[in-house]
Structure 1
Amino acid sequence: MSETKRYFLELSYKGTPFHGWQIQKNAFTVQECLESALGTYFRRPIFVVGSGRTDTGVHAFMQVCHFDLEENMLPGENFLKAINSILPKEISIHSIRPVKQDAHARFSARKRAYVYRIIFRKNPFLNELAWHCFTNPDVEKMNEAAQALLRHEDFECFSKVHTDVKHFRCEIISAYWEQKDHQLLFHISANRFLRGMVRAIVGTLMEVGLGMRNVESMDELIRSRDRALAGKAAPAKGLFLSQIVYKEDIYLD
C-alpha cells in the first residue's frame, strides 16, 4: 500500500444555497460540493474532514479541512486556479498546505471564532448576510451579559437538543459586541462550540438588550442547562465562522 500525504485546505463560502457543511442525503452541502470538485481535479474520489460543521445558511470567512493523497499525486502549480474554476461562485479555496500525517482539521484546532452580524437599516448588499432588526438594543447591557459566558464551562442551555456529544463543556476565550455605524457585530471565540450554540447565545443576548430579560439572569440560565429557558436562535444568515487556529508546527512548509 502506497504512502499518503495529508493537506490542509483553507476556504471560505457563502452558506445561503447550502444545507450546511456536512454531507447528507438529498441535500446540497459544502462538503459534497468540495469533494466533487477535488475528485474532478485529481480524477479519483477525495474525502475531506472539516474543522467543524456549519448549519444550513451559515457562512464561513475561514473554514479548514484536510484530505489525503498518495505520494505520487501532488497538487499542480495551478491547483488553486483550477479548483476554483470548478467550484461554484459561493466557495473559494485560498490555500493548500502539506501537514504532518497526524494533523487533523478538527481535533488539532486550538481555537475557533465566530462573528454574528446584525443590521438596523435595510441594506440590499447584506440582505443574505445579516439579521435585520428594527429596534436598537442596549449594547452596554448585552456586553455585560456576555461576560457571564467567561465564568462558566457547561453550555448545554445553548446547545441543540438530541446532539451526539459526550459533554457540553467549552472554554470561552472572548465574547463581546462591537457597534459599527448601522451594524452590530458579536465576536466570540472558544476551544470548541456546540451545535447551534452561537445563534442561541445571540438570540438570548438580544433579549437582554431589548429588556426582555435582565443581565443577572444569564448566570442562572447557564447553570440551569435547560435549552427551553434560553432565547430563540438568531437567524443563520448573520453567522460567520471567522477563524480556526492551529499550532504552526503541524505545517510542513
Structure 2
Amino acid sequence: MRFKLYIEYEGTRYSGWQIQKNAKSIQGKILEAAEKIFGKIKIELKGSGRTDAGVHALCQVAHLDVDTMLAPEIIRIKLNDELPFDINILEVEKVNQKFHARHDAKLRSYIYQISTRRTAFGKPFVWWIKDKLDFDKMNKAAKLLIGMHDFVSFSDKDEEEKSTKVFVEDIQLKKENDLILIRIIASHFLWKMVRRIVGVLVEIGRGKLNENDVKKFLETKSNEPAKFTAPPSGLFLEKVIYENEKLSNDFSALIKIYSFTKKQTKNS
C-alpha cells in the first residue's frame, strides 16, 4: 500500500532530508520510526525533493510504501509517537500506487526569512542582517529571475541534475514588521539555488550589486553568487504543489508560526 505523508520539521539538527552515511537526516528518522511500528517488513519512503542541512519544512511531502492494515490516521499517530520533537507528521492519506511524491510534483515553493533586527528567539529561523536593505531594489531585481533561465551560477555541481535550467513561476517579496519574506516558486530547485538567489538579492539591497549583475549571472556562468550564499536557518520548504492544487499568495501561515517581530523593538 502507498500512503502520502505531509511532514513539517525544524531542520536545525539534521543534515537535510535525504539519508546519508554517518549523518542524521529527516528521512532516516521517519524510516526508523516506521521500522519500530511495522517491524522487518519492506518499507520505502520517498520525498518530493531534498532539503539542505539546517533547512526547515512547513509541508514536505513523501510517499510511504508498506504492507499494513492500519488506517492512515493511526499511522500518523504512531509515527509521531516515535519521532523526535522537531519532526511532525501533519497528515497521512492512502493514495494510488502510481502516485510519486517527487515525479508528480508540478511546482515547489520556498520561503526565506530575513530579520532586520537582532532577535533572541528567532535566530534558528532567520538570517539577521544589520545593514539597511533597499527593499524596492531587491523586489525589482527579483523579477529578472522569473521564467526559464540557466541557474548554473546559482548552484553547486550536482551529479543527479541533468540540466541547470529551471522555470521560475514567480518570486514574491513582502515586508512584515521586522521581517523581509522572499517566496520563490519553481518547477524544481538546484542545490543551494534558493540560498544563492537570496544572497544576491541581499547584496542588491545593500547596494553592492545591481540588476546588471543579475543579468550577467543568468547569461554567463559565474562563481560570484557562491560568495553570497545565505545561511540555511532562514529557509523553509513551504509547499509542494500537485495536479489541481493551488498555492495561496498569503504568507500568513509562516508569519503566524514564526512572527517573533510582532512586538516592535528598537533595532540593535
Same fold by TM (over 0.5)?
yes
1:164 maps onto 2:164 in alignment: no
Q: Alpha carbons of 1:11 and 1:77: their partners in 2 closer, same or farther (altered >3 Å)?
A: closer
The number of equivalent residue pairs is 244
Deviation at 1:77, TM superposition (A): 4.7
Q: Which amino acid in 1 is paired with 2:51?
A: T
What secondary structure, in the 3-state scheme, does the structure 1 residue paired with 2:190 have? coil
1:35 maps onto 2:59 in alignment: no
What is aligned with 2:265? none
What secondary structure, in the 3-state scheme, does the structure 1 residue paired with 2:184 have? strand
Contact 1:131 1:238 in 2 (8 A): yes
Q: Alignment RMSD, CA only?
A: 1.7
Query: For the residues of structure 2 that align with 1:174 and 1:231, how far apart are their CA atoms?
Result: 24
The equivalences for 1:1-253 within 5 A come to 5-44=1-40, 45-70=42-67, 72-75=68-71, 77-229=73-225, 231-247=227-243
Query: For the residues of structure 1 that align with 2:174 and 2:56, how far apart are their CA atoms?
Result: 19
Structure 2 unaligned residues grouped into runs of 5+: 246-268
Q: Alpha carbons of 1:102 and 1:131: their partners in 2 closer, same or farther (altered >3 Å)?
A: same
TM-score in terms of structure 1 length? 0.91
Q: Which amino acid in 1 is paired with 2:120?
A: P
Query: For the residues of structure 1 that align with 2:207 and 2:70, how far apart are their CA atoms?
Result: 57
Which stretches of structure 1, 4 residues or longer, exceed 6 Å deviation after superposition?
none
TM-score in terms of structure 2 length? 0.86
Deviation at 1:124, TM superposition (A): 2.0
Deviation at 1:163, TM superposition (A): 4.1
Structure 1 unaligned residues grouped into runs of 5+: none
Q: Alpha carbons of 1:176 and 1:25: their partners in 2 closer, same or farther (altered >3 Å)?
A: same
From the two aligned structures, give the one with the greater helix fraction.
2
More displaced stretch, 215-224 vs 86-95: 215-224
Deviation at 1:229, TM superposition (A): 4.9
State percent identity of aligned pairs. 36
